[in-house]
Structure 1
Amino acid sequence: MKRIGVIIPSITDGLQVELLDGIFKTASAADCDVIVLTTATNGMEFHIQNEIMTGEESIYLLLERAELDGILLVSQYFDKATVRKTLSELIRRAAIPCIDLGGTKLGFETVSIPQAEAVCELTDHIIEKHGCRDLIFLAGPEGISDSEQRISGFLRSANVHDCSYEIIYGDFWKFRANELGNEFIEHKRRLPDAVLCASDTMAVALCDTLQSGGISVPDDVIVTGYDGHISAISNFPSITTVSGNMFELGKTGVNKLLGIATDAQRSDMHIIYGASCGCVERMKDYQTAALKVREQIQRDAEIGAMLEMRVNANVITRTSSVDSLDELTDIVDQTAHIIKSYKSLHICLLPNWDSDPEHPDACPTQPFPEQMLCALSKNAWTAGVKGGPFPTKHIVPALMGEHEPTLVFVLSLHTSSQVFGYCGFTYESALDFTVSLLLFNYMTSLANGMRILRHKLYAEYLQKIEESSHYDKMTDMLSKKGLLLYLESQKELNVRNCIMLVTVSQLAAAPNRKKKNDLSDIYLQSDLLLANAIRLVSGRNKTAAHLDKMTFAIVFSLPDNGTPETMAEEMMIQLELLIRKMQEGTSADFLPEPYYVCGEVAYPAEKCVSELWDVLNAHKPKVKGFTGIGELKKLRRELHKAPELNWNLTELSKRLNISKSYVQKLYKEHFGISFIDDLIEARIEMARQLLLTTDLRISEVASSCGYQNATHFMRQFKNKVGMSPSEFRKSSK
């Protein structure tokens, strides 16, 4: 069975899904598998390449190992020229036949689909059905093939019907459409009978501008689009448009790649009649449009519901505490049902993911090895199976042996740039796959579990090294073994030595906290702060040792007029001052509160240290007050990840099983900000990002950030930012 690879960035738009639907339906009819190499994000040209992008884009390195009969490169959706160049080099090195569906000048073959006929049919409809004789065609950029084809279809109809017309070159985007609409409103240009737009984005923007200026669509002017995008179908008024363009592109690309002759007369492109041309009597088309909108709304609702279930299921917490790969794959087996509509999933790991414990943050992937390790294969709603090594050229084990044509989406399994392998998801239809926050979080939690396993192996490795060494590798102090040898050597000198064991009783919030850290880093930061402080306090006249995790020892000589308790208390004061001073130059959110025991050294030294250690653990202070601080911090992280949800004190008090007033007190005490102010800041920050990166209306931004009232949102935004949302968006351009 042949295999076609599709290279495409994050699949977030309905037209991308339509393209993949056309690819898979055509490929499966020709008995071909389709493997989609994709990512969860798509870097823009102005984005600096970061570790997360590098980790995600490592999935394209599979091209050097995958056994593919051809590649479809969807280059038009890759926004960074550097990524397009890298992909071009990878494809050439792999020596796999490639068709570039984006038509970019990367040197590969391209395809072109006939678009003139559909535009001609749409123009005929506007002229013959609605009697329009004075026309404007708002095209794309001059010289672009898609734009010129659509112009030729318009001209064919306009000339046959002897209509007056004007061609205006645009940008396929909103800017020229907005300008044209304002020209009509300000009477700088005469209003025609109809404006036919070469893209739905331009048609929607033109309708919005016209109607905001008092010009009615379709009563004063008819507007049409092209693409069949959900934004056109769901617009008010719904846009009359040409649909099926991307499906046809996918179909044509597959046929050219496989050398299959296509029927020039048969096309999947068709007109969807909407209210923007006045075809209100075409109820069947309205019904079709309404069903599409309803399906989109249902999909969005399902994603939202599953996201809430994902948060409540606490998968991240479960994967963060695993002790073995088997335990991690068991969690995936038990929770994979929260991923929507998948047919099967395969966790494919680098065989040497755990073979270098001395370097826990390194996982080489360039290139991928000839064999991968299948940690788990699972069909939906059935128990998974632990696998073994398999040839990387097959991508996933499901493609080995005889099988029906299969659609596989492959995403990198990584934390930042540390790549552990990839996950392959198979689907019945391209329409079933969505890159959602739910899927992104699930992949992240799985990769984080792998990272934690690597660090646990590193900790075990250090422990073994430490046990066989006199020095602790992390702190450069004496190890426990080294301390005992040192104490025994002091016995011969008849020196009156004392020993002080120091540990952390609890963590206190830093008073000048400037940065929010993940809880997984807090204990490491506290350990390092305490170790550095002890190193400074011990100096030349004292000997320090790192015994276990956060337990340290300081050996000091006792003067004739001193006592162990007096000396130890003085050192504790110095330690606390040093810890707070060092914290000022770090990003630590919490300070370690040291606790100690002390006494004179007795022999044998091992027995003396052991007895002091027992006293230290027996009398260590208990954590004061409420013991669910970890849960409160987890809830706060959830709030900052999804501030648009209906957060309130009642919900928090139920989750924590304490009163609302106590929640407020704890929130302020531990985070230095009230709950309501923290929620507002999180929502305003989300609004900033949406205003900078999207073209959503202000009311849509308000709704997306959890505001029921757009006026309240605008007032709160101005109060926090110092300008209105509109002013903020304009000032950022």
Structure 2
Amino acid sequence: MARKKRIAIIMGRIYNNINKSLIHGMLVQANALGYSAFVFALNEECDNERITHGEKNLFHALDFSVIDGVVYAPYTFCSSDYYGYIDNYLTEHCTVPVVRIGLEVGDYIPFWYDDRNEISDITMHLIYGHNCKKLLCLTGPADMPVAQNRAKGFIDAMQKAGLEYSDKTIVFGDFWINAAKDLATEIADHVREKPDAVVCTNDNMAISLCDALTERGYSVPNDIRVTGYDGSAESRMHVPAITTYRTSQEKLGKGSVCLLYEKITGIHCETDNTDTGTILCRESCGCSNCHERDEAFDAEHRLTEEGYMDSMVSAAFHDADTLDELVNEMFAMRYKFIYNKDFTDSRLLLCLCSDWDNVSNEYRRDGYSDTMYLISSDGSRCSFRQSEILPEILDREGFSSTFFLPVHFQDQCYGYIALDLDENIDNFNMEYIKYCREVNNALKYLSTKNELKRLQHRQSVSLSRDQLTGLYVFQNCKDVWAEIRDSSAENNEQLYMAVVSAGGIRHIENKFGSVESDKCIMTIAEILSKCCRSREWLFKATDRSFVMIGSGNNPDKHLDEYIKKIEEKMWRYTITSSEDHIIYIRSESKVVKDPTTLSKEDVLDMFTRMLEMIDERAEKQLSSHIHYSELLKLRRDIFVHPEFSWSGDMCSQKLNISKSYFYKIYLQTFGINFIHDLKKSRMNCAKDLLTSTSLLLPDIAERCGYDYYNFMRVFKREYGITPTQYRKNDH
């Protein structure tokens, strides 16, 4: 499927009425030209460096390979820190055309409305409407083209009216409050002759000048008339209300998109000219604003605002214990900012980094994870590459406008949230901004709460661990059995278990001390752990016994493999250990036929019975017999030197006992008969030499205590393949 044609729009404070008109014009024109829009905005602009960092991070989500161009309105941001950062980011990374509304900076394509003629119109109103002869123009910085252009509009009007003007008639300021205060001081101190009127080229300076003149004893408009420019809501609410020029922000927005379209396609297009600016005559110039109609305020909008305040959003979000619960609450409360008639036409998309809930000091501060996780209000859930910005599979047919806000807590990046709308941008309102701030706080609260739970769980789990081996003690892990049982049922697998008891420990403790016996238990625990598969769990049962619980489709095979691996590793430990003692294991295994009916207590009883069976066999062990130590040493010698001509006669002579008695006590002591144990030792040695050396087979046979013919026959019978095949397969 071909990529959808789309532009990106970057601007601040979209909830502001003037800016809302601007973006409305952009979206209407984009729709007419067949483009959808990604709109990147901010939650808040403040002086807190960490919050500022978190807000700026949103622009790392921009991938210019999935958009055709950018419209950027820097003047809609409160702080130069924000638009300076965006300027630099676009300069370094942007590969598509950028139309920059307002300030002419860098290599961007500039676009602005005809403010020269509009300033001229409002100046003419003062001259002909109020008979003003001596006028001043307070504009922005002298090095700013916008400020110069507006000053030229003032001069145009003065020339048309035949009024005198000079360089001192134009006052270059800052487009902010300080220059206005300075001008009021100069007038009050008679440094500058009192004018009949001051034309301010934005509302901020006009409001500030009115206040400063009033503080110094001047009456506005009786002593000095003041006008502004922009048509801001503040100008209307001020006392006196500021005469201003409401520019056509919608026309400006449409024009910026037309210019971008021309740069993308090379095709010229025009906007309709039905929407124009107008002078708003009010009290500050001497006019009355009683004829100015109150702007309509939709009752549904008021209900939305009141509903948000009454909704207890914060409490509902903070009650969530999991991400799913939080998301469900989020989507359930969309009606708090989305007007009823648009509810079914909008989608809310929460896109989280893969590491969003990292609470360590190394949390994500810059950029986003390569893979993001999306949760949508329409039920969609998926992972996607961040370079897509949003998954292509979620694209709607036809026009859509998607508004992005950063999701973060101070400088910790969580991801971003997208509000996908068909047409009505009124749903991107102050209530939505508040809502998203609550989401940010709720995610932080949730991650912190879950981390505290995790720490509490780990603390309780640490109390469940055996201090010597680090293994969990099964008796102390209340929920483990249920988790393993349920996981097995979900995967349609059978459960099996093996109980392993360590032998020779008491003898080592008596002869070498408790430190050596502890080392041996740790060795056995390590061997048992390494022999576990991915779905096998090992626990400590008693001081010298362990329990392995496994889950799989072939339990008998898995149990057999587990015991064989243990025996091989025990054999390897015996022949490589520098200690002059030997340890061994006894085991019982069982396949659990119907685990769903078993409680943890039932499993403990099962373990206990299996241990009793091992102990019953161990009771026959002649550990108090005079030959016990000699048997342990003899077995070690058999393991270390398989090449010797071991036989029942030879071993019984070493112990000075009869051969039949030797066979009996060997079996009772180690749980395996002598002949089988000898063969297993020699086969383990053979496998080790086959895989770790390049010795010829006759040499290997000799080192294992066989002649070549018998070695080949025994090996094939034991493993079903020849030694050569075993070596080739690199078992």
Hey, what does 1:697 align to over in structure 2?
Answer: none
Work out whether 1:257 is the aligned partner of 2:254.
Answer: no
1:164 match: secondary structure: coil
1:239 deviates by: 1.4
Distance, in Å, in 2 between the alignment partners of 1:478 and 1:414 is: 38
Work out whether 1:447 is the aligned partner of 2:443.
Answer: yes
Work out whether 1:385 is the aligned partner of 2:379.
Answer: yes
Counterparts in 2 of 1:127 and 1:97: CA distance versus 1, 3 Å? same
Q: Residue 209 of structure 1 is aligned with which of 208, 212, 220?
A: 212
Over aligned residues, Cα RMSD in angstroms?
A: 4.6
Hey, what does 2:494 align to over in structure 1?
Answer: none
Distance, in Å, in 2 between the alignment partners of 1:483 and 1:301 is: 55
Work out whether 1:415 is the aligned partner of 2:409.
Answer: yes
Hey, what does 1:673 align to over in structure 2?
Answer: none
CA contact (8 A) 2:351 2:372 kept: yes
Q: How many residues end up aligned between the 2 structures?
A: 473
CA contact (8 A) 2:349 2:418 kept: yes
Hey, what does 1:151 align to over in structure 2?
Answer: 151
1:94 deviates by: 4.6
Distance, in Å, in 2 between the alignment partners of 1:392 and 1:456 is: 30
Deviations 1:218-266 (A, max 9, x none): 2232211111111112112211111125444433321111114346977
Hey, what does 1:433 align to over in structure 2?
Answer: 428
Hey, what does 2:20 align to over in structure 1?
Answer: 17
Hey, what does 2:329 align to over in structure 1?
Answer: 331
Distance, in Å, in 2 between the alignment partners of 1:127 and 1:446 is: 57
Deviations 1:322-356 (A, max 9, x none): 3xx433322223222223547523333347458x9
Counterparts in 2 of 1:129 and 1:417: CA distance versus 1, 3 Å? closer
1:271 match: secondary structure: strand
CA contact (8 A) 1:63 1:91 kept: no
Aligned pairs for 1:28-427 within 5 A: 28-42=31-45, 44=47, 48=49, 50=50, 52-64=51-63, 67-76=66-75, 77=77, 79=79, 81=81, 84-85=84-85, 88-89=88-89, 92-103=92-103, 105-165=105-165, 166-244=169-247, 246-259=249-262, 260-262=268-270, 268-280=276-288, 283-284=290-291, 286-287=292-293, 290-291=294-295, 303=305, 306-310=308-312, 314-319=315-320, 321-322=321-322, 325-341=323-339, 344-350=346-352, 352-353=354-355, 362=363, 366-369=367-370, 372-376=372-376, 378=377, 384-389=378-383, 392=386, 395-396=389-390, 400-427=394-421
1:432 deviates by: 4.0
Partner amino acid for 2:374?
Answer: C
1:411 deviates by: 1.5
CA contact (8 A) 2:62 2:389 kept: no
Identity of aligned residues (%): 22
1:481 deviates by: 7.3
CA contact (8 A) 1:120 1:153 kept: yes
2:60 match: secondary structure: helix
1:346 match: secondary structure: strand
Distance, in Å, in 2 between the alignment partners of 1:65 and 1:464 is: 49
Distance, in Å, in 1 between the alignment partners of 2:269 and 2:111 is: 13
Distance, in Å, in 1 between the alignment partners of 2:147 and 2:90 is: 30
Deviations 1:294-342 (A, max 9, x none): 68x997996466234336x6123312x23xx433322223222223547
Partner amino acid for 1:37?
Answer: F
Which region of structure 1 is more displaced relative to structure 2, 112-121 or 81-90? 81-90
CA contact (8 A) 2:61 2:367 kept: no
Partner amino acid for 2:44?
Answer: T
Distance, in Å, in 1 between the alignment partners of 2:457 and 2:67 is: 41
Aligned pairs for 1:265-664 within 5 A: 268-280=276-288, 283-284=290-291, 286-287=292-293, 290-291=294-295, 303=305, 306-310=308-312, 314-319=315-320, 321-322=321-322, 325-341=323-339, 344-350=346-352, 352-353=354-355, 362=363, 366-369=367-370, 372-376=372-376, 378=377, 384-389=378-383, 392=386, 395-396=389-390, 400-427=394-421, 428-435=423-430, 438-448=434-444, 451=447, 455=451, 462=458, 470-471=466-467
Hey, what does 2:526 align to over in structure 1?
Answer: none
CA contact (8 A) 1:471 1:482 kept: no
Counterparts in 2 of 1:217 and 1:301: CA distance versus 1, 3 Å? farther
1:31 deviates by: 2.8
1:252 match: secondary structure: helix
Distance, in Å, in 2 between the alignment partners of 1:483 and 1:399 is: 48
* Unaligned residue ranges in structure 2 (runs of 5+): 263-267, 478-500, 511-606, 609-731
Hey, what does 1:649 align to over in structure 2?
Answer: none
1:450 deviates by: 5.5
Distance, in Å, in 2 between the alignment partners of 1:469 and 1:357 is: 26
TM (normalized to structure 1)?
0.55
Partner amino acid for 2:212?
Answer: T
CA contact (8 A) 1:174 1:202 kept: yes
CA contact (8 A) 1:307 1:438 kept: no
Hey, what does 1:505 align to over in structure 2?
Answer: none
Counterparts in 2 of 1:115 and 1:326: CA distance versus 1, 3 Å? same
Deviations 1:357-396 (A, max 9, x none): 9979756974553x643322x3xxxxx4243345656644
1:12 deviates by: 6.2
CA contact (8 A) 1:72 1:100 kept: yes
Distance, in Å, in 2 between the alignment partners of 1:275 and 1:461 is: 68
- Larger of the two Rg values belongs to structure: 2
Distance, in Å, in 1 between the alignment partners of 2:185 and 2:78 is: 32
CA contact (8 A) 1:135 1:163 kept: no
Counterparts in 2 of 1:393 and 1:268: CA distance versus 1, 3 Å? farther
* Unaligned residue ranges in structure 1 (runs of 5+): 379-383, 494-605, 608-733
1:271 deviates by: 1.4
Distance, in Å, in 2 between the alignment partners of 1:357 and 1:81 is: 28
Distance, in Å, in 2 between the alignment partners of 1:406 and 1:438 is: 23
Distance, in Å, in 2 between the alignment partners of 1:468 and 1:448 is: 30
Distance, in Å, in 2 between the alignment partners of 1:197 and 1:205 is: 10
Hey, what does 1:602 align to over in structure 2?
Answer: none
1:40 match: secondary structure: coil
